[in-house]
Structure 1
Amino acid sequence: MSLHQYVNTYGQDLLRRYGERVHKLAIHAGFTCPNRDGSKGRGGCTFCNNASFNPNARQPPPIAAQIEAGRRVLAKRTGARRFIAYFQAYTNTYDDVRNLARLYEAALSEPDVVGLSVGTRPDCVPPAVLDLLAGYRERGYEVWLELGLQSAFDDTLQRVNRGHGFAEYRDTLRAARGRGIPVCTHLIVGLPGEGRARALATLQRVLELGVDGLKLHPLHVVKGTRLANAWRRGEYRPLGFDDYVSIAADLVEQTPPEVVFHRLTGTAEARLLLAPAWCSRKWAVLNAIEGELARRQMAAAVGWPG
């Protein structure tokens, strides 16, 4: 597949800069979330079941063991010899900074780990944490702060029980980039009450502030969530395959080429996924996005209607 001909993908960006394959290796470090432990709320976001992307959510193995298991799989599948430790599950800056340093450095102590990617919420990144991450950058490590925004509209964020607004995202983004920390922003397409217009408006608000990377996810309904209950009652209708492909292509086309796409779709395990069924077919979605971008490029070249 040649998606990188149309999209500035993270994999190709790393290949250019390191001269070899570098892969993200997902780590679950045992964090929780202020939207679950009562600090901001209970129950988490209406769509959230972290087991949908992390099978070790209850009792994660030690970080060294997770890295060893991940490197074996990735080395066999891709031939990768260097890795980025991706602190993925829940809110990976939600702890005392000394404990964060212990966990991050446990990953960085592995000789084939070249950096960190830290997933978190915009309202959980105090200055001390930003200073810690900036220090790793100064030591030559690859460091990304991944901020889960999902939508730039506060009414949507309230509807899905995010527990923060766009202002917290704006402030954290500026503080991180002011320290030289690149930011990857997560956006969800198909949130309740949102369609193409709001997805494009969210992108523009994010781009206006400045961002280094983007992750796109279609909203999928998984077991054990409030969204699943709404779907069963017929109160939420998931986005169709063709609609998602079209909107994702729109977002790619309106993004400056220097912004890196870390992801263009997301999947959930079959045992958890309720709807839409196409969210289990990652490569079908990616191939369709590539095909749509190629079709649009050809149409523009020959002057056909888009």
Structure 2
Amino acid sequence: MALPDYINTFGQDLLRRYGERVHKLAINAGFTCPNRDGSKGRGGCTFCNNASFNPNAKQPHTVAEQIEAGRRVLLKRTGARRYIAYFQAYTNTYADVEYLAELYGKALEEPDVVGLSVGTRPDCVPDEVLDLLSGLQAKGHEVWLELGLQSASDTALERVNRGHGFAEYKNAVRAAHLRGLPVCTHLILGLPGEGRKEALSSLDKVLNLSVEGLKLHPLHVVKGTLLANQWRRNEYLPLSSEEYISIAADLIERTPRSVVYHRVTGTASKDILLTPEWCSKKWAILNGIESELWQRGTCQGSRLANGSGLSLEKTG
């Protein structure tokens, strides 16, 4: 068995709809963040060292150059010949709409790029940006708005210096849906002060807004962050791999099968990762989630009373 037998994954969803493998291709367009430049705050989130996750953050290559480099790697690694340009680093709607239109347009000029996935903050999606994305979707492009919520608890968001609350997220989702734009919501498991109960609460609040996609990430401590200092002072204790796998499985079981999981874990490179060590082992966690669901005899949506889960017959 494989993870897609238990979870409605983004890769399998694209394969069904396009008839071939379509892969996300990450792009760093050199954006900053309003929580770092003083617009909303300074220093960013307590866990954020985004530049460390994006080696070209200071001097990124052009969009075309990044796509060419990415397609060479992905073609060799996965065999994919069509791509979604994933604007990933920092806040990818944080600019004038004219500049954004030019930037997104450069990605879509590539003949093998079928669409965009735009990562941003819930407080950085004004109407004109949503109209731009909606217009690109109307031209036949695949378009996803990825909103970094992390938690539906305002207390937790304040604790990590997020700079926005759940209200901004709710407004952004509703505005996107008015334009027919699908939303993928990012949730972080293991934020300071949060455990299983809080993760389930965040999931419920997000699903109540009928989002189309989800991403789950474990909170990991990396160099150069306030969270690293808190961890060194024993003020923060990360989840164990067993805890993460168990909580992730709980969320998956409670997610309707119509929702697409773009990701169920996240990693950090060993050169910047401080703790937990298991966050450098992507496949161990993916296999662990698959094994956990198999042992439970469950799958995505199994614990929903309305029968909207994946067929258990498909999971053996």
| Structure 1 residues 152 and 31, CA gap change in structure 2 (3 angstroms) | same
Map 1:222-301 → 2, pairs under 5 A: 222-297=222-297
Q: Distance in 2 between matches of 1:125 and 1:53?
A: 23
The residue identity in structure 2 corresponding to 1:87 is F
- Alpha-carbon deviation of 1:52? 3.8
The residue identity in structure 2 corresponding to 1:17 is R
Deviations 1:97-132 (A, max 9, x none): 000001000000000000000000000000000000
Does structure 2 retain, via aligned residues, the 8 Å contact 1:24–1:85? yes
The residue identity in structure 1 corresponding to 2:144 is W
Does structure 1 retain, via aligned residues, the 8 Å contact 2:268–2:279? yes
State, as a whole percentage, how many aligned pairs show the same letter.
73
Q: Distance in 2 between matches of 1:60 and 1:209?
A: 35
Q: Distance in 1 between matches of 2:141 and 2:177?
A: 16
The residue identity in structure 1 corresponding to 2:90 is Y
Does structure 2 retain, via aligned residues, the 8 Å contact 1:31–1:91? yes
Q: Distance in 2 between matches of 1:2 and 1:147?
A: 28
The residue identity in structure 2 corresponding to 1:65 is E
Q: Distance in 2 between matches of 1:24 and 1:52?
A: 20
Map 1:1-306 → 2, pairs under 5 A: 2-297=2-297
Deviations 1:209-236 (A, max 9, x none): 1100000000000000000000011110
The residue identity in structure 2 corresponding to 1:89 is A
Does structure 2 retain, via aligned residues, the 8 Å contact 1:185–1:211? yes
Match of 1:209, SS state, is coil
| Structure 1 residues 51 and 258, CA gap change in structure 2 (3 angstroms) | same
Gaps of 5+ in 1: 302-306
Match of 1:68, SS state, is helix
Tell me the number of residue pairs that the alignment of Structure 1 and Structure 2 aligns: 302
| Structure 1 residues 17 and 250, CA gap change in structure 2 (3 angstroms) | same
The residue identity in structure 2 corresponding to 1:147 is L
Q: Distance in 2 between matches of 1:187 and 1:296?
A: 23
Q: Distance in 1 between matches of 2:298 and 2:73?
A: 38
Report runs of 4+ in structure 1 exceeding 3 Å deviation: 298-301
Does structure 2 retain, via aligned residues, the 8 Å contact 1:216–1:263? yes
Q: Distance in 2 between matches of 1:287 and 1:109?
A: 37
Does structure 2 retain, via aligned residues, the 8 Å contact 1:52–1:268? no
Gaps of 5+ in 2: 303-310, 312-316
Q: Distance in 2 between matches of 1:110 and 1:203?
A: 36
Q: Distance in 1 between matches of 2:267 and 2:222?
A: 10
Q: Distance in 1 between matches of 2:40 and 2:137?
A: 30
Q: Distance in 2 between matches of 1:284 and 1:46?
A: 27
Q: Distance in 2 between matches of 1:52 and 1:255?
A: 32
Q: Distance in 1 between matches of 2:191 and 2:298?
A: 31
The residue identity in structure 2 corresponding to 1:7 is I
The residue identity in structure 2 corresponding to 1:119 is G
| Structure 1 residues 298 and 180, CA gap change in structure 2 (3 angstroms) | closer
Does structure 1 retain, via aligned residues, the 8 Å contact 2:267–2:281? yes
Q: Distance in 2 between matches of 1:29 and 1:78?
A: 24
Q: How large is the Cα RMSD of the aligned pairs? A: 1.5
Does structure 1 retain, via aligned residues, the 8 Å contact 2:253–2:298? no
The residue identity in structure 2 corresponding to 1:8 is N
Q: Distance in 1 between matches of 2:293 and 2:175?
A: 34
- Alpha-carbon deviation of 1:70? 0.1
TM-score by length of 1: 0.97
